[in-house]
Structure 1
Amino acid sequence: MTDANLSKRTPPAKPFWLLWSCQALSLLGSQAVQFALIWWLTAETGSAATLATAAVVGLLPQVLLGPLIGTFVDRWDRKYIMLVADGAVALVSAWLAYLYFTDAIGVSHLMVALGLRAIGASFHSAAMTSSTTLMVPASLLSRIQGLNQALQGGAPLLSAPLGALLVAALPMSSILLVDVITALVAITPLVFIRVPQPATSQSTDSSFLGDMALGFRYLGKHRGQLYLLCGAAGVNLVAVPAFVLLPLFVISELQGTALQLGWLEMIFGAGSIAGGVLLGIWGGFERRIVTALFGLAAMGIAVISLGLAPAEIFSAALVSMLLVGTGTSLVNGSIHAILQATVPPDYQGRIFTLVASVAGAMTPLGLALAAPVAEVMGVRFWYLAGGVTCLVAAGAATMVRAIMEIETTATLPEDPARISVESPGPG
């Protein structure tokens, strides 16, 4: 089925934009509160091991539970998954606010809360991403993903100073109520908006494990999506360590300070916003895969340039980092749009969470390699290796027919009855 055919059977996009706007506000509030929580944890413990544990707790639900969460999303009503997920996050924040107010808070409470928040976010993200395909015309998918990338890049830039302002002005119990309020903002339109659901089909099995197996089987039969997943995992394995080592790179190679590190992180966010806005306005090339590979190649050149940046020309590092952020948005936004346009709606929960799980699992593996390799080869090695990996992956993909034809060989359902059914509204 072509994008045009799917878009003709898609409801008007106005409800989606209302939902997206409220979710964007909720994301900003959640990240500001997350900043405050991590700051409290840092001030309270002063322990690097505790902070590393908190990071792992936030990552593990996506890596370990992704296939399970995706299967639930494809079996259950996605509207109610988002309602319950947002409501659960609000309840967790209210519970933490009570613990802070009664001075009963402990590090263990915060770890539990971070894990529960991550689980709720994973459910919500999978349900929202899978619902997008049935709420907007397929021709808008690239632009929407561009805006999502701009949001993901811009939220940290706004949430960090907002979180710092909240920490300076309010007690933690009051800060957490901000998260409760923004979660309620996200929930309110969901009560009234009808969210289309994919009709049941051969993508469902009588058992939960059977449904999960069908998701793996789908990827095995669709080589284009499978190769994209493998490519993303490979790039993450080599590129992620480079940016984890960014503070060390700034100190040892650029002879910089925390100020230079802050500028690089800020310019990366600005690049992510620029790439997302560019994709949102332009929409990319006619073939989304071309946009993705163009962005990957540009990102590879930029990462190599960053690794070669001389200490005496810090502006070269800034320009390189700006291009890294821009390329990242073009790649991620285009790939998400490709999957939304080519994976049947009743499989999307499983496929999106499986992609996130596999790509995310490369992060701890890459981090395990980062320090020992950097000690032998130097920190610059990771930037050169990461950039070369991006270029090789982009070049190799152009020679793989399954990848280059992924948008023309997609097998979407032809029966209109399978496209969607409406989630019941209030009453």
Structure 2
Amino acid sequence: MSHQCSEESTLPENGTVPGSASESTSAPSGGLALDPSETGWMQRAALLLTGQAFSLLGSSVVQFAIWWWIVLQTRTGSAMLLATLFGVLPQSLVSIFGGPMADRYNRKALIILPDLIIAGVTVLLSVSFALNWASLSLIFVVLLIRSAGGGIQQPAVQSFIPDVVPESKLLRVNAIFGVIDSANRIAAPALAAVLVNLVPLWAILLVDVTTAVIGVSFVALIRVPRAVVRNTAAQDSVVQSNTVQNDAVEARGSGATAGGTDSAAARPIAILRRTFADLKTGLAYAMHHPHLKGVILGDALTCLMSVAPMNLTLLLMTREYEGINLNLGFINLTTASDKLAANELGLSVGMLLGGALMSAIGPKLLNRSVAQMYAVALGIAMVGITVIGLGVSRNLLVYLIIDVLNGVASAVCVGPMRTVMQSESDESMVGRVFGLDTMLSTLGMPLGMLIFAPLADVIPIAWVFVAGGLLTLPVAWYVLMLSRRDVPQRA
């Protein structure tokens, strides 16, 4: 969850808000894109990152609490499967529209509005729990709305970063973003566990509402550089003009009459067609750009091959390490919950370390797009190798060390991936590129689960991890090959 609009905070019905921080920043001369002003970028980045930190923490705490409630109340795999589908698939499907929306509309508005809507439904869920009206079906509806909001918000957040941060600072900001995400992964389950033991669930749900308000307040303070606002105004007018013309054509093609009744009925169809046309344009654009094609398909295939098996860690721990204890001195891992907590902590610490490493040395070593693509390929290969290691390890301490390395590998991928998509996409296509990436990567995990989860009940679960890791290695090679191809120059 997260934040708010730019100088203007309302969405028009038929186009982009003039002055919004969204479309391409056409240059005054020389054909080069105008980079956001260097002046004040640190303040803008700090506001955005702080708002995201609060928003992510509240969302994660509530997400953990909801999932734990489902597990404790149902103790069935079918309920968890439904929770996964309602919590993941809507984001993937809605991102089809979220990417083009981030290119057409005010990005700050697309960041803040989902936060407010999600906060509203969370309040309703909290009230239902307080009055003992809550049910599993209501929780699934709330999970669906929360996931759908992420499908709009995530492309908007990633598209908004290049509007407020100079291109030379993108990798550093993305790496810090990764550190925040990793820190959240460490803090959220611990905080959720404490709150679950102290307060009822309806009160925990209000934590998300509070952090959403705080996050929105920080992002509302962000001022988009005037250069970006000024140079997008002309293109926004063109986009609006084209939108009106396209709507008129679609309305005539749908049998609009002079009375306007058919035109009004045809308008949602016209909007839907335009959205899919935007998605098609974004897909064609990304697939003709070797680096964008590499990071998008690399992200999706890695989620399919490696991230899906990683979601079977629960089964791996209970089957392979049952009865195996580990005394680390400061803590003794004896129960299944101890080991699962250590597994989550190891992965999160690894991502935190990897994000800090990329933030410290990434801007110096990875200041060219080819170097960033090499880092993506290396990170994907490391993910594959560490997933294999998790499968073949028979020592709990060795397993946890490999788990930390898996987190480092994931962080090595994420920062450069985001930077490539932000810096090599035309400004008018950034939202569509991120929407495409969100859609494919979020689809990859549940599709992989449909393949690997049944296999885990037929073959030893360690083999599932080995298979997933081995299938990930060719993905790294594919990204490496694409990194060596020439890329088209940005307009």
Same fold judged by TM-score > 0.5?
yes
Counterpart contact for 1:61–1:119, Cα < 8 Å: yes
How far did 1:48 drift? 2.5
Q: Which whole-Å CA distance do the structure 2 matches of 1:282 and 1:410 have between them?
A: 27
Q: Which whole-Å CA distance do the structure 2 matches of 1:105 and 1:251 have between them?
A: 31
Moved more, 215-224 or 355-364: 215-224
Counterpart contact for 1:292–1:330, Cα < 8 Å: yes
Q: Which whole-Å CA distance do the structure 1 matches of 2:34 and 2:170 have between them?
A: 12
Gaps of 5+ in 1: 414-427
Aligned length in residues: 406
How far did 1:12 drift? 2.9
Which residue of structure 2 lines up, in the alignment, with residue 231 of structure 1?
Answer: 298
Superposed counterparts of 1:256-271, under 5 Å: 256=324, 258=336, 259-271=338-350
2:223 is paired with a residue whose SS is: coil
Which residue of structure 1 lines up, in the alignment, with residue 105 of structure 2?
Answer: 76
Q: Which amino acid aligns with 1:164?
A: A
Q: Which whole-Å CA distance do the structure 2 matches of 1:357 and 1:120 have between them?
A: 13
Moved more, 332-341 or 145-154: 145-154
Q: Which amino acid aligns with 2:425?
A: V
Q: 1:190 to 1:395 in 2, by over 3 A?
A: closer
Which residue of structure 2 lines up, in the alignment, with residue 86 of structure 1?
Answer: 115
1:90-120: CA deviation from partner (whole Å, max 9, x where unpaired):
2112222222233222222211111111122
The TM-score with structure 2 as length reference comes to 0.76
Q: Which amino acid aligns with 2:479?
A: A
Superposed counterparts of 1:86-105, under 5 Å: 86-105=115-134
Is residue 411 from structure 1 mapped to residue 466 from structure 2 by the alignment?
Answer: no
How far did 1:162 drift? 1.0
Is residue 163 from structure 1 mapped to residue 192 from structure 2 by the alignment?
Answer: yes
Which residue of structure 1 lines up, in the alignment, with residue 40 of structure 2?
Answer: 12
1:386-414: CA deviation from partner (whole Å, max 9, x where unpaired):
3333333223433x2x42356xx35333x
Q: Which whole-Å CA distance do the structure 1 matches of 2:319 and 2:120 have between them?
A: 44
Q: Which amino acid aligns with 2:283?
A: F
Which residue of structure 2 lines up, in the alignment, with residue 217 of structure 1?
Answer: 284
1:256-311: CA deviation from partner (whole Å, max 9, x where unpaired):
451333322211111011111111111263321122222222333322322221x2
How far did 1:229 drift? 2.4
Q: 1:55 to 1:135 in 2, by over 3 A?
A: same
2:402 is paired with a residue whose SS is: helix
1:32-79: CA deviation from partner (whole Å, max 9, x where unpaired):
122222222333333331222112111012221211111122111111
Q: Which whole-Å CA distance do the structure 2 matches of 1:396 and 1:60 have between them?
A: 27
Is residue 272 from structure 1 mapped to residue 351 from structure 2 by the alignment?
Answer: yes
Q: Which amino acid aligns with 2:356?
A: V
Q: Which whole-Å CA distance do the structure 1 matches of 2:459 and 2:123 have between them?
A: 48
Which residue of structure 2 lines up, in the alignment, with residue 141 of structure 1?
Answer: 170
1:334-378: CA deviation from partner (whole Å, max 9, x where unpaired):
111111110122211111111111122222221122144345553
Q: 1:65 to 1:122 in 2, by over 3 A?
A: closer
Is residue 250 from structure 1 mapped to residue 298 from structure 2 by the alignment?
Answer: no
Q: Which whole-Å CA distance do the structure 2 matches of 1:275 and 1:103 have between them?
A: 44
The TM-score with structure 1 as length reference comes to 0.87
How far did 1:326 drift? 0.2
Which residue of structure 2 lines up, in the alignment, with residue 127 of structure 1?
Answer: 156
Is residue 291 from structure 1 mapped to residue 371 from structure 2 by the alignment?
Answer: no
Q: Which whole-Å CA distance do the structure 1 matches of 2:76 and 2:86 have between them?
A: 15
Which residue of structure 2 lines up, in the alignment, with residue 190 of structure 1?
Answer: 219
Look at both structures and tell me which one has the larger radius of gyration over its CA atoms.
2
Moved more, 11-20 or 207-216: 207-216
Which residue of structure 2 lines up, in the alignment, with residue 319 of structure 1?
Answer: 401
Q: 1:176 to 1:364 in 2, by over 3 A?
A: closer
Moved more, 218-227 or 74-83: 218-227
Which residue of structure 2 lines up, in the alignment, with residue 281 of structure 1?
Answer: 360
1:363 is paired with a residue whose SS is: helix
2:437 is paired with a residue whose SS is: helix
Q: Which amino acid aligns with 2:385?
A: I
Q: Which whole-Å CA distance do the structure 1 matches of 2:179 and 2:64 have between them?
A: 19
Counterpart contact for 1:225–1:403, Cα < 8 Å: no
Q: 1:378 to 1:43 in 2, by over 3 A?
A: closer
The partner residue of 1:342 within 420, 424, 432 is 424
Counterpart contact for 1:89–1:116, Cα < 8 Å: yes
Q: Which whole-Å CA distance do the structure 1 matches of 2:36 and 2:139 have between them?
A: 47
How far did 1:203 drift? 8.0
How far did 1:254 drift? 4.1
Counterpart contact for 2:174–2:419, Cα < 8 Å: yes
How far did 1:149 drift? 1.9
Q: Which whole-Å CA distance do the structure 1 matches of 2:40 and 2:79 have between them?
A: 47
Q: Which whole-Å CA distance do the structure 2 matches of 1:289 and 1:139 have between them?
A: 16
Q: Which whole-Å CA distance do the structure 2 matches of 1:277 and 1:132 have between them?
A: 19
The partner residue of 1:45 within 46, 53, 74 is 74
Q: Which whole-Å CA distance do the structure 2 matches of 1:376 and 1:177 have between them?
A: 42
Which residue of structure 2 lines up, in the alignment, with residue 26 of structure 1?
Answer: 55
* Root mean square deviation, CA, Å: 2.6
Q: 1:280 to 1:307 in 2, by over 3 A?
A: same
1:103 is paired with a residue whose SS is: coil
Moved more, 253-262 or 22-31: 253-262
Q: What percent of counterpart residues are identical?
A: 27
Which residue of structure 1 lines up, in the alignment, with residue 472 of structure 2?
Answer: 390
Moved more, 137-146 or 226-235: 226-235
Superposed counterparts of 1:361-400, under 5 Å: 361-375=443-457, 377-398=459-480, 400=481
Is residue 356 from structure 1 mapped to residue 438 from structure 2 by the alignment?
Answer: yes
Counterpart contact for 2:64–2:189, Cα < 8 Å: yes
Moved more, 88-97 or 213-222: 213-222
Moved more, 177-186 or 191-200: 191-200
Q: Which amino acid aligns with 2:114?
A: A
Counterpart contact for 2:47–2:219, Cα < 8 Å: no
Counterpart contact for 1:228–1:403, Cα < 8 Å: no
How far did 1:9 drift? 4.6
